[in-house]
Amino acid sequence: LLSEEHLPKLYWQGDSLSNFSGVDLPAKFVIKTNHDSGSVWICSGDCLPFPQNLVSEVDLALSRTYGGASGEFPYLLIRPQVLIEEFVPAESEKDRPCDYKFHCVDGKVAFLQLICDRGKSPNEVLVDRNGEVLDFNLDPRFQGTREFRKPSNWTDLLAQVETVAEGWKYVRVDSYLNGSRLLFGELTFFPHAGWYQGR
């Protein structure tokens, strides 16, 4: 059911971006850290060689201790690494793909939190496992919307997500949709540090 095709291609990983060498990168790619939240840089080929200000920003993110202050203690056990990954193109001409965040309970999708237009005017819609729009939102930072177009392979997407979520009491499976191909980004066990409040 799942294979490496469901993961963005990993081009390189290391302890610091200053150690990068020996890998040909495509025209567009993503730099991220593995131990925290939100440390992501979308880069084009014109940022090679990596400028010192970018190296410093990434190193600063790697040096941060994440999880203790918010009670997300498992993050403290992760060895900080910088990853260079495949850039997933958006469904349209937008800069970034929509985030498909599947909230799963006891291995089953309870609802999808879809976030689009990041970096511009982010909006969020919640839908149940049948693809029906719910009448509340989670994140006050995003504009709430009630618009959702159910993918034609919705049933397959649920099955793929539930394969990953199997065995967990709760997990949010963060992913992207590239055409009909579901790409998994990460598993989140403490969304918003557990402080989401529906609105």
- Are the C-beta atoms of 11 and 78 separated by less than 8 Å? no
Structure confidence at residue 1 (pLDDT): 58
Dihedral angle, C-alpha 50, 4, 186, 106, nearest 10 °: 180
From the list 73, 60, 69, 165, the residue with the least C-alpha distance to 112 is 165
What span, in angstroms and rounded, lies between the C-alpha atoms of 109 and 91? 23
| Residue ranges in the chain assigned as alpha helix (H) | 52-63, 154-165
| Cα–Cα dist 75/53, whole Å | 26
* DSSP notation for 158-178: HHHHHHHHTT-SEEEEEEEEE
Query: Are the beta carbons of 36 and 63 closer than 8 angstroms?
Result: no
What are the DSSP calls for 12-31, one per residue? EEES-GGG--S----SEEEE
How much is the pTM?
Answer: 0.88
- Cα 61 to Cα 41, 52, 58, 82, 172, distances in angstroms: 11, 14, 5, 9, 23
| One pLDDT digit (tens) per residue for the chain, 199 residues | 577 889 999 999 999 999 998 899 999 999 999 999 889 999 987 788 999 999 999 999 999 999 988 888 888 999 999 999 999 887 665 567 899 999 999 999 999 999 998 877 899 999 999 999 999 888 888 888 898 999 999 999 999 999 999 999 999 999 999 888 899 999 999 888 777 776 6
Sign of CA dihedral 172, 106, 68, 136: positive
